[in-house]
Amino acid sequence: MLFTITSFLLFLPSLTSSSEAQTWIKAGHWYSVSQFPVPFIDSTLFTHLTYAFAYINNSTHELLITPSDEPYMVTFTDTVRQRNPSVTTLLSIWTGDSNFSTFYSMATQPSHRSRFIESSIQRARLYGFHGLELCCVKPDTSTTKMDTMGILFDEWRTAINRESKNSTRSPLFLTLAAYNLPSINTTSFPMESIRRNFDWVHIVAYFYHLPTMENFTGAHSALYDPSSNVSTDHRIKEWISRGLPAKKMVLGLPYQGYAWTLLDPKASKIGSAATGPAITADGAISYKFMKSVMRCDGEKVVYNSTYVTNYCINGSVWIGFDDVEAIRTKVSYAREKGLLGYDVWHVANDDNWVLSKAAQADEKDPRNKRHPLLVILLPIAATVALVLVSATWYLRKRARRNKGEFFRL
């Protein structure tokens, strides 16, 4: 009996600290085009760091790594692990824009799929990554294409598991960075296959309104929108209603904003008339640039809690973006909805890690409540010893299962 109580007391803190803490994903992308020095990444702020990007060779259908990326890939994992030895690294494979046709021409041919899959695993292992992310697929109106995608995902997972058994290493993580809508018109992503094969889906929850597309200011990453369905909250619900469990999703957080030129600087709310992008060709502005050059601080910045967005007004320039309030609220939202965590695009755009720290500091983090929880639980544990005999057995069994789930992630 004494042994049981003691082991239970020893066991409780480890249950609250390790399993809770480790299953909350705090991921970030490093984009090589940013040239941000990898040793400067504060990897202690992340559980996962993703290298962007590898591509797909349009003639061989193997993974394509550009000569300029290769030296960074070789050292990426070792470098980010110097500050945080437990950070997990992934290699992201870009399929977007003009690369979509390459992606489908790979996916439709069994021999092409196999070359892609084998080369992706081989390269990930070669460079020391712990996983692969497929970025950034969109649903297509062709059901044949969606079925094909489902087959690719099945084969990829099978190959990853086979390689793991053969190499006796833990399987590579496999994740999907997906467009925020799971369906287009009547066709949907191959949801069953996605649920089965990916460790999680990173929902790219921004780009809702762009100055190149619309002549009114918009919250490009609105959590809510009282006047339309174009919002993260609605799209997360859409994924859930299509069959993806909340605990398979991580919420994408943007470290960039979009700048519009106002038609009339006095009309500067969300939805005011504008005449296209400002500052850059497409209006995209990094958080760092907003803070350091545009001086988006103090009275120039408005936080709108209805939409959960910030905007900065500088003369006739209007920039919609996520500042610390929006980031914090979104992370709380992700926890409340039972999501698996968040993923930021991209780390070089942060300003002295202000946003990444804000994302960590949300008060619903169970680790911040660990001590009060134990204060309540420990006396109860000591008095209700009889119940503990069976509870210990039960919880031990559960803990093993939780760990198993974590390592599979």
**Closer Cβ to ligand NAG, 20 or 154, answer by number:** 154
Q: In this chain, which of 35, 68, 86, 166 binds ligand NAG, going by CB under 6 A? A: 166
Tell which positions 32-91 bind ligand NAG, by CB under 6 A: 55, 57-60, 64
**Closer Cβ to ligand NAG, 45 or 91, answer by number:** 91
With contacts defined by CB under 6 A, name the span among 242-250, 271-279, 321-329, 335-343 that binds ligand NAG: 271-279
HSE value, Cβ hemisphere, 13 Å, CA-based, for 124: 31
User: Residue 248 CB, nearest distance to ligand NAG (Å)?
Assistant: 20
**Closer Cβ to ligand NAG, 294 or 391, answer by number:** 294
With contacts defined by CB under 6 A, name the span among 12-20, 28-36, 97-105, 401-409 that binds ligand NAG: 97-105
- CA angle 27/30/34 to nearest 5° reads 150
Cβ neighbors of 309 (< 8 A, separation 6 or more) are 219, 221, 222, 223, 270, 303, 320, 321, 322, 326
Q: Which of 344, 355, 318 is nearest to 205 (CA)?
A: 344
User: Residue 71 CB, nearest distance to ligand NAG (Å)?
Assistant: 16
User: Residue 271 CB, nearest distance to ligand NAG (Å)?
Assistant: 6
Is residue 169 a contact partner of residue 210, using CB atoms and an 8 Å limit?
Answer: no
Is residue 210 a contact partner of residue 283, using CB atoms and an 8 Å limit?
Answer: yes
Q: How many residues bind ligand NAG (CB under 6 A)?
A: 31
User: Considering the rule CB under 6 A, would residue 295 count as an interface residue with ligand NAG?
Assistant: yes
User: Residue 302 CB, nearest distance to ligand NAG (Å)?
Assistant: 8
Tell which positions 335-374 bind ligand NAG, by CB under 6 A: none
Q: In this chain, which of 50, 88, 102, 120 binds ligand NAG, going by CB under 6 A? A: 102
User: Considering the rule CB under 6 A, would residue 143 count as an interface residue with ligand NAG?
Assistant: no
Distances (CA, A) of 198 to 23, 81, 133: 15, 24, 9
User: Considering the rule CB under 6 A, would residue 99 count as an interface residue with ligand NAG?
Assistant: yes
**Closer Cβ to ligand NAG, 14 or 170, answer by number:** 170
Sequence letter at residue 16: T
Tokens matching residue 88? 């997990």
User: Residue 89 CB, nearest distance to ligand NAG (Å)?
Assistant: 21
Q: In this chain, which of 17, 161, 304, 316 binds ligand NAG, going by CB under 6 A? A: 304
Is residue 270 a contact partner of residue 219, using CB atoms and an 8 Å limit?
Answer: yes
**Closer Cβ to ligand NAG, 36 or 216, answer by number:** 216
Q: In this chain, which of 229, 292, 352, 390 binds ligand NAG, going by CB under 6 A? A: 229
Q: Which residues bind ligand NAG (CB under 6 A)?
A: 55, 57-60, 64, 97-99, 102, 141, 166, 184-185, 213, 215, 228-229, 269-271, 275-276, 293-295, 304-307, 314
